[in-house]
Amino acid sequence: MTHPTNLIGKTALVQGGSRGIGAAIVKRLVEQGAAVAFTFVSSEAKAQELQDSITAAGGKALAIKADSANAEDIRDAVAQTVETFGGLDILVNNAGVLAIAPLDEFTLEDFDRTLAINVRSVFIASQEAARHMKEGGRIINIGSTNADRMPFAGGGVYAMSKSALVGLTKGLARDLGPRGITINNVQPGPVDTDMNPADSDFAETLMGLMAIPRYGKSEEIAAMVAYLAGPEAGYVTGASLTIDGGFGA
Ligand SMILES: NC(=O)c1ccc[n+]([C@@H]2O[C@H](COP(=O)([O-])OP(=O)(O)OC[C@H]3O[C@@H](n4cnc5c(N)ncnc54)[C@H](OP(=O)(O)O)[C@@H]3O)[C@@H](O)[C@H]2O)c1
């Protein structure tokens, strides 16, 4: 499928772009013409491979090692993007972790790490990126349908982290709106990635809860992100858009 080339001349940074949904977003933004930097924390080889495959095909990509739990790493990633590509128009906050454990066993380390990566990093990157963005800038967060529905025990902290993005997105829309910058929150349902493989024991149970009983594809999430990143979405802001096969219906 060919996509519109409406992001030519735009520059983007994707937090957590080495695998899964993030990698699909990187590829999609490149296909639409953007120069795209992306971060990773552990998957060095995968990140390098993605950067190389994009540059070999004539696109512009930059892999940056940066831990989303670390404020300085995030700020450096924004600075490197601006330095390399000459600006920053689109920020996608995709890096996320999922820790599941019964209430009794859930550790404070996992609580703090979940909030640091799933919420605090979104705030830091948005604050830093907005300093460089001009009118038409776009911030897109990757939340989860679990912000609205968490039908299992053990996922409370993850659900809380994704609910926090709903409020953060609404509030920051008010900060950024007068500057012509939008911020939105995409809420996927089950998507086949390392975090949530479609062949896990859990998959059948999840599919029993969906109107469309299949896992989503990373490319389907990337398509919604690409819409929000494009010029046609200039009037959408502060919104949480769910793409979950009816998991929450
Ligand atoms: N899959 C689903 O069913 C689903 C559903 C709803 C929402 N989501 C959300 O979608 C986003 C992506 O999920 P996914 O399924 O694609 O997950 P994934 O396959 O586990 O990939 C996670 C990505 O985030 C990066 N990342 C994780 N921790 C990081 C850190 N501390 N610093 C920098 N990068 C970090 C990883 O980098 P490395 O490769 O270096 O580890 C990787 O690129 C997450 O926010 C997740 O909560 C997923």
What pTM was computed for the model? Answer: 0.98
pLDDT at 111 exceeding the cut of 90: yes
Catalytic residue among 158, 215, 227, 235: 158
Q: Is 41 near ligand 1, meaning CB less than 6 Å away?
A: yes
Cβ(4)–Cβ(195) below 8 Å? no
Task: Quote the mean pLDDT of the chain.
Answer: 97
- Structural tokens at position 36: 């795209």
Tell whether the model's pLDDT for residue 8 goes beyond 80.
yes
Query: Does the pLDDT value for residue 137 go beyond 90?
Result: yes
Q: Write the class of the CATH domain 11-241.
A: alpha beta
Question: Does the pLDDT at position 81 exceed 90?
Answer: yes
Q: How far apart are CA 105 and CA 126, in angstroms?
A: 33
Strand, helix or coil at 9? coil
Would you say the CB of residue 116 lies under 6 angstroms from ligand 1?
A: no
Ligand 1 atom 39, closest CA:
43
Q: Which residue has the tokens 């830091």?
A: 124
Q: How many angstroms separate the CA atoms of 81 and 16, rounded?
A: 14
Tell me which H or E stretch contains 227: helix 218-229
Structure confidence at residue 2 (pLDDT): 84
* pLDDT of 1 strictly over 80: no
Burial class for 133, CB neighbours closer than 10 Å (0-12, 13-18, 19+): buried
Ligand 1 pocket mutation, candidates 25, 40, 163, criterion most atoms within 8 A of CB: 40
Mean pLDDT score, 2-28: 96
Say whether 164 sits in a helix, a strand or coil.
helix
pLDDT tens sequence across 38-59: 999 999 999 999 999 999 999 9
**Mean pLDDT along residues 233-245:** 98
DSSP single-letter state for residue 241: E
Determine whether the shortest distance from the Cβ of 39 to ligand 1 is under 6 A. yes
Q: pLDDT tier at 4 (50, 70, 90 boundaries)?
A: confident
Domain ranges of the chain: 11-241
Q: At what angle do helices 121-130 and 71-85 cross, to 10 degrees?
A: 30
**158 catalytic residue (yes or no):** yes
